[in-house]
Amino acid sequence: MPRYTVHIRDEWLAVPCRDPTYTIQWLGYEALKRYTKNKPDNGGINAVKDIRFVTRRCQGQGLLDGDDTIEDVLEDNDFVEIAIEGDTMSPDFIPYQPGVSHLTAAYRESDDNLFLDGNSLTSTDLVNLGRGLYKIKLTSEAENGVVKSRELLDTIVKENKVVYGITTGFGKFARTVIPVHKLKELQENLVRSHSAGVGNPLSPERTRMLLALRINVLAKGYSGISLETLHRMIQAFNASCLSFVPEKGTVGASGDLAPLSHLALGLMGEGKMWSPKSGWADAKYVLEAHGLKPISLKPKEGLALINGTQMITSLGAEAVERAQAIARQADIIAAITLEVLKGTSKAFDSDIHALRPHPGQIEVAMRFRALLDSDHHPSEIAESHRFCDRVQDAYTMRCCPQVHGIVNDTIDFTQKIINTEINSATDNPMVFAERGETISGGNFHGEYPAKALDFLAIGVHELAAISERRIERLCNPSLSELPAFLVNEGGLNSGFMIAHCTAASLVSENKVLCHPSSVDSLSTSAATEDHVSMGGWAARKALRVVEHVEQVLAIELLAACQGIEFLRPLRTTTPLEKVYDLVRSVVKPWIKDRFMSPDIEAVHRLLLDQKVWNVAQPYIEKYNMELLPESRPISPTAFSLDPPASPRKRIRLE
């Protein structure tokens, strides 16, 4: 029998429906009957049949027509809300940051598990957890470590030992000893008082990443969390019950205290929370609607939940994964531009790059050869200017291996830092069960990921800077031998004139965003935290820089494909024609002026989904495999989109 979860005022009610042809109006009245039945005073409602109300979906707040049948507008176990006329509704819709959320738009509960042990999670795994591709389970080894760590803490409390954060206050109050009967209140007060962030909430994906990463760190067994609390966190993650976490407020010193406190606050049943089924509501009701209980904090558990670099690191993981994806695709886009501008592939000769053997430079040059090598992929466009008098190309084409190459090496460096941080214990004090003691240290300091993400922003920005110059060459007839702004009837049509301006504006924004945040420090907590990393801002702006790079390269790809239109019937190489066909599957050629923004967004989506890379990758990989072993610059496994799956970590439930 289908059932529906209905939110009325401050309660969630499960309403079964024997006949799905009943109307939404019936569902509303049935829910109201159940609501009044549970209230001594009928909730102030004298006659249900006289009540006027509206019904809306909890997710997205869309109004439902009372005359529609349930089967036409709802799915089994949908969440709906009854707004009684005259009431002030409690949970207002809280918008996310711009962009389509995978969890909001197309969430499907996963049947696959990712086993966490605190030691083997990768940035790719974390991004996939954020997208809802896996549920979480703990390995048995991790559970045993958590139990042993907690047993030591319970002993410390029982013996009335004075230990920072367990039986004392925090920061400036570290010397204030707290009575045993107030230790639970101490932890709850810590979470509540530290929930002082501001700004828009993190998107569902980013909140899932944040929660997953905190679970992974606690699974290491050095935080003193109880297994019961950790299991409740995992249950909330698996149900996608996600706390309201403002994006601003961390200085990255004692970790990301404010964001992680907001994360913990929702798990305690306080503040706001969101799930794909319920939308935004008070946290205790969202948990209740999913059959979950709020966590009840034991000594040290509040500190264990909020002390660490997980916001910096989870956002950094997304930034580095997206940077890696766009860097690969930047080589393909630049290769198309080179073809359209009738450049030469001689600058990518392997002997040149062997003399300056930076790994990224060698790899990028190899990709260009794989896409442009006439022996593998004849190009009619290249053949048409084989005997021209041009000696060499502009730097924006000729120096792609050198410029794109350092971006690749920067991404590799950053990814190593982030993957190490993902599997690091970063709270304080650390609980060493085998030594039978707790030790205060500074692993919570965010300088490592902060510095790496500032470096990432500076590095990946250059992909946009050089791309914008290539867009200029495509649009400028004195440099391209193509119609001005890549359109016929110039003057009547403006073509790519303002698309280039958009690219220029994004590059200019990036120049400001690339100013490193980690060179700044402001003393906080009465000079106890007297040097901080500002890593939260480093992570957020790195993500913004990466997004701008994606958008600039989307514009270049559109412009390059438009340039091909003016060279027809000549064809470029097979892999680049495949990329052209992919773009044309979502964007038509520019015959006359039209609304351009949707075109840019459509191609940006191709880049986000790595479809441009997926089309070209087989050709690059085949070229690399055909090289002699002694001259092969990199291993074919370098082109794998995902690391090999570990059978121990991924298990599909039957």
Packing angle of the helix pair 400-422, 359-372 (nearest 10 deg):
120
Q: What angle do CA 373, 379, 383 make, to 5 degrees?
A: 105
> In this structure, what token pair is assigned to residue 591?
């015959």
Q: 498: part of which helix (H) or strand (E)?
A: helix 497-513
Whether 222 is catalytic is: no
- Residue 430's SS3 state is strand
Packing angle of the helix pair 310-340, 123-130 (nearest 10 deg):
100
CA 282/CA 390 separation, integer angstroms:
68
Evaluate the omega torsion of the peptide bond into residue 477 and state whether it is cis, within 30 degrees of 0: no
Contact 93, 62 (CB under 8 A): no
Minimal CA–CA distance to 301: which of 456, 489, 154, 502?
154
Q: Give me the torsion for CA of 399, 401, 402, 403, rounded to 10°.
A: 80
Contact 102, 61 (CB under 8 A): no
- Provide the residue type at 434 as one letter: E
Q: Exactly one of 134, 164, 222, 448 is catalytic; which is it?
A: 164
CA 565/CA 592 separation, integer angstroms:
13
- Provide the residue type at 323 as one letter: A
Residues in contact with 412: Cβ distance below 8 Å, sequence separation at least 6, in sequence order? 359, 360
CB-count exposure of residue 158 (10 Å: 0-12, 13-18, 19+): exposed
Map tokens 């034991």 to a residue: 298
Residue ranges of alpha helices (H) inside 178-309 are: 183-194, 204-218, 227-238, 257-267, 283-289, 301-306
Q: Which runs of E-coded beta strand occur in 369-525?
A: 430-432, 437-439
Active site residues: 164
